[in-house]
Amino acid sequence: METLEFIIYPDGRVQEKVTGIVGASCAEVTAAIEAQLGLVLTHEPTSEFFATMVQQSGLAITQTSLSDW
């Protein structure tokens, strides 16, 4: 589940936290919002930013051998 959380401080700063988006695609999701908010001071990537999508194949390879017993 993708979640964007915003905290707006009394001095006008906005903290944005993105969860549920794997990889750098979170920058694409938040680009338009950040453009409207103004100057971005810092970016702090989470572990999800550095994660990669894992695709599981349905292919299974089996090997059978007969025993010498």
pLDDT band at 9 (very low <50, low <70, confident <90, very high): very high
Amino acid 43 reads H
**Residues 10-58: tens digit of each pLDDT:** 998 899 998 888 888 888 888 888 899 888 888 888 888 887 755 555 5
Structure tokens at 46: 């989470």
Answer whether 51's CB lies under 8 Å from 22's CB.
yes
